Structure 1
């Protein structure tokens, strides 16, 4: 047995690991709350009967209500903690008789309250009490003698009964230990409470912070370096943010953090957390017009994410209005600078101005700029970037081009199908959904000069994809694409899964299919025909036919390249010719696994015969990752009849 560590055989665990919660009395308690390393006892109980009570194993039990004395966890003679490896129940390793220990009278009301909770099974209150004790330990620093632990248990009990009575005591302890201001931020100090898994303890931590805020705590001139690291969940609770926002602070180099060796868990430096909070406290300005940084992102003007706002505050580019100590950085405020009316340039126009002149929506202009039809540039005004078009470029666009919808409104035609009517006459647009993915069609004015626009608007029999089809017209329309929704329905898949076949190369997206994804019909027909091909069979069905599991089939035949798998995205299939080849191999050869199962023995039977020189593999199929030996069935059947096979199977039986 390891020195100083007891083996717990008396408690039932609620899980399978060593740190699973333990059933103590009628409640569940964490493993860390039990005294498994060093025990404690009542000297008067031990003097009466040499028996260790299970009640003494929990750390919240620090006294004996029956005799009104403090428990003992150290030998009065040698002063060492009691070891479970001592010679006897009442005998220390130094030889001292522990039953002769002098009892210390003490108030046992807190211990009686703990035992009452454990006996009645009040799990909620007991868990809150144990979690509050755990949270107060590092704050009040009462981890020395059992007398100090007893005082801490009394404080925790008072905090559960009347939290308002304990809050001022904890606040006094935090403020009294720091002269000339706090060098460690209060949220760092209260981290054990804020990051607790118990909501009662978290609320108690918030009450302590509110008390400190009311008393007007002051930061020290120097910031203390806090050792250690904190997990991402604890760091988020400390800052009063979500885990995602906390990670963004790391990505912006505001916090010092890194992932562990596995690449999953985050570890944040405690010193960087303390520096961030203290910097924001030192840079805050008491003003009336401070607004929340989250609201500040939504008002007109420069946009700021939380990380960007904090970076600007630290750099001095933005004035902080501070944050509520109890709420954390989610209540961070900044001072909004005065907004100015955007300046008007004489040499350019805005997107909205050009859209108004062209009688279209602003998004039509943005799509035309994206397609390269309209030259544009970015300019900054009042810390805001705007897209503008030169005056000469805007005039040239109005002179040379026109939107189909704008032209339709001018002549009173239907905006919905006027572009298709123009294209049915042989006029080709320079931009649009089927050209470059634009929002609407744009035509050259010179191409429309010779057209009778009234006659074009009156056309009835023309190829169209909008509106109802004339009888007999739909069957003559040849579609080169199919919508994603129709393709998904025809394949019997969801839209998202069908969309995932495009990156795999199983389906091809149309080059300019508009805003909605369109699939080339040739690729769709090719995939559909392969799925309907009766010459293809899934791996699951092939494995059932040859009497193997899917994993065994892939290991023996797929990984050794005897069978070629075709990945159709929807399912993995093989050709029936490959299946027939596997069936031929199984009629001629046998594997070690099959031989062992046939004889009721282990798969090592044939390899053992091979080492004795009784049989040799006829074929070895190998790849970079696997190797499968195939033995002839005729050789195997011959050996079964020989006397050489008298030991292995029978001996195992």
Structure 2
């Protein structure tokens, strides 16, 4: 087109239409000008439409060019007032020589310049098109991209670090990739409206130059933005939408493989789901190297059951990801780096049966320890219907105890014997274990010998007293003999107090009359023995009995009981 403008002007024509009236077809003009076939093919761009459709030998199409509006560089027009072939491309928006944005409108009247004219020096309003007002420099990445496109007019060209591409391939890349940004992604990328306008072309070129600059970091930022905005994270195709189609169908040529490599590299780092052979568009190496696997695959590689891996994920001892598919099915995946950790965790754990055997305890007692929080399994059948229990060996080690040497001969009893014959009540086994941890009870044995919980030996009398104390503090009743010990009185004295009704008793499931903590507290708050009162005053009991103005409520001379008792309220008014 630019060459035809110069021919028309050199021969006195004012418009290309006048030239077309002289020559009935483009071939006739070329013949008149003496152009060889090679020179004719070297002309870039379409010829005027009145000569019929243009033919292109370099893979370009008529749609790639502007046919009506002209773009120009004012600085280039100052040097030579002719139209450069590159300016005819719709994607062309800057001057590679001067690194400024091209013009498409007169700076004076704002009108566009039609390509049918042959005078490139002045607008119809008289303003000079070489006027540089409004011209500004553009970013270096955009200049580099434009120069690569210019170089592709003579053959394949490449930006540093990218494969070489032909001019049609550059146009295709820019036409598709340039439509995507962090703020906009087309639903159906394809033909671009208003690409003949300079602003549209500049937007496309700028976006592509930004994505290619510092490749692939800016491209990954775009992918991350699309991924965060996606409604679905269950499918790569649905997550990345039209961009996925663009990469694997619209720009599927081998020269665009770097785009797909960058995309698959992003998935390797940021896609939390699995990538498998169903993703047929991906390279086999991408599928093989993807770091995330399904729970079933992880279990097989780690040598454990899938339920074990699932519960490791559930209790967050390993990191996992869950995706809910449109069908409602949930897909779990984990990082392959966790496989070694899974194997170590599983190796460092025992089942419920193994734990019972190591601790010399029945299985139900292990369950009690788990319910009480003394043992904390990584995988539990009580939570989530796991196929098995997995209890860390380290926790079992805490239930092995070293013995304590005793200076006197004591009657000992094992914990297993206590569990079998002492008829412990609910919670008393857990309380006994905590008493061992708190050193309220000390195992009897060699300090250098670590013994499992079920086999440790305890002082029988000390353990019984401890258990009775715990039961009584918890509201359990005691026998009259045990009440006598707590009151510091002889048994016969306490039986007299029960007979006289001064110490209240109850009947429960245990044999004989039983004394509760409440009745003991009530007795001690209401009554005091003569011996206790005399000891507090440091007086003789016999002297007090003769001198006190208060009459005792019970005693040898009152009701035949063995000790005198007074009401506290009468002695301490």
Whether TM-score is above 0.5 comes out as: no
Find the structure with the greater CA-based Rg: 2
Q: Report the TM-score, using the length of structure 1 for normalisation.
A: 0.28
